Structure 1
């Protein structure tokens, strides 16, 4: 990194102590920007970088709620409104015990560039709580969501900040959140939340979008080498929304997904994941991948090691941040992995990314490869604004075109800056220049 960028990063670390994931996300972007800053020195004016790494607004609040036993419980809520240069803040809400300000800031920072890559006029934000929905009744989740929205509602709006779902926040939670927003504001403002159910403003393909987009990006990368996913073995981590629909799209394109995982362990299914059984276990029964293995002949459950231990040509990390480390990367490469396309946010450690890039395999960072989810959220906002309802075919076609454009833009930028095939550099510089140009146009704010 140049001295200028190093100074900005050092100040980020000083002002945000004990926030390693946020530091990691900032470092990963800043270290890519040197070529852009050298070619366009005006991007160093008006403390642009210093403003870029500082959230516009950080909201932290208490969330009291009553469990089914009548006990008062207290969680902490967050909303980081990071950058609105391109449009209203846009990003999901995560309900998980690991959530803290560090995690939300890293996710919000990543969201700035991911959203810019979609070209849809949306800024970057993120939110959530350290509330864990697992093991809670529907009534407990409803009471928590209502308490959470009782504070959050004053900070959001269709033209201000539009949350969506993330880990622990699906259609059920979005419904409870929206109901409380409507009650508090006396408005049916459909565009204030995305990820809604279809009957009251949701969009077809939104459920599938992140997983689909991750696989479509991998297919586009392979096409640059005259190849496709047809017949390739695929490793998928996770078993939630992103992983499930990565499995589905990979199967549609002729690949054979052979792994899934959750916090209890992972499953190897050499014959290929049974998508119907996976949906039944995870979406209907809210079970564990061990339940899948118990009912799927020929599959095995493992509580040691990881999905990355299985030989395959393609890997889709779809679980959580920093799940794929340097040792995992070495194993993947030694087993012949040719493609890594990230479905989760920052799932590969810096050391793993360095190994992938050094090996010259096709590697796509999450801010590009998993942008399909937020892209389809913006399509949901578009439908809400016009009171329209698109067919599945139209929504999927729009998603496919957006993912192809993101791929092609990243590829073209990497070539422009002298590093063909470097999707990390291409994604970071493309997203940065779009945001930076808007920030400079708006003045020092």
Structure 2
């Protein structure tokens, strides 16, 4: 009998894992097949995944995010079968996918062409919000996966927002300000007609910071001839920083504190490993320091830096200086002799209590997960989108390591933008640092409680590793599904 596309895909994944397990040492944790390829997946859930595989067989990142979400929703699909299968199938097809060329001229007068993307995934709850990523690896699969994750993340917030994502395979590293400006202007020449406060507002992502957002907004305003403010909301400053940038990283730490409180623990004094050295990673480290934790690592594409003495504010400022000058993290160890930089490896074998992956998707694989468990990790808080492979998640589940999913833990930026919209509507732009901290913590608490309630409603125990993982997806999906049902087949 001929195998279906889903069965062939599952068998391939199982064969790859079997080869990995043959080399695992006997004193390490060994896991069975990943959750998302288990043949116990219900017929209806399996048909949704198989449909996605047939439609987009080469979109690896997007299919992975679909499989994880469908697995989390199996009990929902089983409870209200026909209606929710149909809703999920519609949800997995983006409302709009824009792919376009981005021609630009460098400082030497040479012409280059990159590819631009914007996936407006779902607007059932409101206008789209989501990041723009400039990175050589950017493709349609990644844009769709990020847009889908952003849709779920926004649906968990108390604000009426849809989800989107996009960017380009343009590499901003080493480019001058003028080159960046010309590229951003060319990118917006195509995108401006799909942008606007009632359509889609982009935000910062990998490779896109305040400078790039300014160039993008300037060209949008020039072409559209309207819209006051900026893409991610008016620039409200305190301590010389815009709130939107801090919110995502700070929120990740606040979410970790909520989880630890339910474990009768506090974050103070805990040894924490952090990956990445971008905006989110740096603000995670900053807030960990403020909370009295002991952050010891950051990483880049070449390796990772560990300082067993822990980072403090002075060391963090030095790290930011290194990053702003586009120097290697290795330079840190030249100033702080006890620190070490390791080439071509990730920080997941370092002893730790809590792990904060904040670099990129799939940065924690099965071997990394085994290393983390054996290094003492009891909690993993996702700062980046889908940082763990399905095999890694299965390792953590079997070792009873709790995971805070990115769609919940990373909701700080969404909450901040929502609060800014509320302030704008009330014509009050006064927001102190204390107000910001208080509002952000309350928003993350609501998200946490909403995810746990959804998990409980569908039979997941609060202490279970699946509770937050599945509960966050369930709560987000039910919110979107209700809106899609109310609005009919559109």
Structure-2 residue corresponding to 1:75: 114
| 1:19 shift after superposition | 0.6
Structure-2 residue corresponding to 1:161: 200
Q: Pairwise mapping of residues 48-63 of structure 1 onto structure 2 (< 5 A)?
A: 48-63=87-102
Q: For residues 339-358 of structure 1, what are the alpha-carbon distances to aligned partners after superposition, in whole Å with 9 as ceiling and x for unaligned?
A: 10000000011011111122
CA contact (8 A) 2:117 2:168 kept: yes
Task: Pick the aligned partner of 1:28 from 68, 71, 82.
Answer: 68
Structure-1 residue corresponding to 2:257: 219
CA radius of gyration, larger in: 2
| 1:3 shift after superposition | 1.1
CA contact (8 A) 1:85 1:439 kept: yes
SS at match of 2:163: strand
- The count of residues paired between Structure 1 and Structure 2 equals 440
Task: Pick the aligned partner of 1:365 from 388, 395, 405.
Answer: 405
Structure-2 residue corresponding to 1:403: 444
Structure-2 residue corresponding to 1:420: 461
Structure 2, unmatched stretches of 5+, are 1-40
Instruction: Write the distance in 2 (CA, Å) between the matches of 1:423 and 1:347.
Output: 16
Instruction: Write the distance in 1 (CA, Å) between the matches of 2:423 and 2:209.
Output: 20
Structure 1, unmatched stretches of 5+, are none
CA contact (8 A) 2:356 2:380 kept: yes
Structure-2 residue corresponding to 1:272: 310
| 1:42 shift after superposition | 5.8
Structure-2 residue corresponding to 1:85: 124
Task: Pick the aligned partner of 1:249 from 251, 275, 287.
Answer: 287
Structure-2 residue corresponding to 1:188: 227
Structure-2 residue corresponding to 1:297: 337
Q: What TM-score do the two structures reach when normalised by structure 1? A: 0.95
Q: What TM-score do the two structures reach when normalised by structure 2? A: 0.87
| 1:59 shift after superposition | 0.3
Instruction: Write the distance in 2 (CA, Å) between the matches of 1:188 and 1:58.
Output: 24
Q: For residues 388-445 of structure 1, what are the alpha-carbon distances to aligned partners after superposition, in whole Å with 9 as ceiling and x for unaligned?
A: 3222221222111111111111112222222123211111100000000000000000
Task: Pick the aligned partner of 2:428 from 376, 388, 413.
Answer: 388
Over aligned residue pairs, what C-alpha RMSD do you find? 1.6
| 1:197 shift after superposition | 4.7
Instruction: Write the distance in 1 (CA, Å) between the matches of 2:139 and 2:58.
Output: 11
User: Does residue 1:123 correspond to 2:162, yes or no?
Assistant: yes
Task: Pick the aligned partner of 2:483 from 438, 441, 444.
Answer: 438
CA contact (8 A) 1:195 1:207 kept: no
Moved more, 181-190 or 244-253: 181-190
